[in-house]
Amino acid sequence: MSSMSFDLPMPPSVNSMYRNVPGKGRVKTKDAKKWAAEAGWMLVAQRNRDGRHKCITGSVEVEVTAYRPASKRRDLDNILKALLDLLTSTKTIADDSQVVAINARWVDEGVPCTVTVREA
Q: Where residue 31 sits, what CATH number does that domain have?
A: 3.30.1330.70
Kind and range of the H or E run holding 107: strand 99-107
pLDDT of residue 1: 56
The answer to whether 75 and 62 are in contact (CB under 8 A) is no
CA–chain centroid gap for 7, Å, is: 10
Mean pLDDT of 2-15: 90
Helix spans in the chain (H): 14-17, 30-47, 80-89
What is the extent of the structural domain holding 83? 3-119
Using pLDDT thresholds of 50, 70 and 90, give the confidence band for residue 90. Answer: very high
Question: Using CA atoms, how far apart are residues 97 and 77, in angstroms rounded to an integer?
Answer: 17
pLDDT of residue 51 exceeding 90:
no
Q: How many domains does the chain have?
A: 1
What are the backbone dihedrals phi and psi of residue 27, each rounded to the nearest 5 degrees, phi first? -130, 155
**The pTM is what?**
0.89
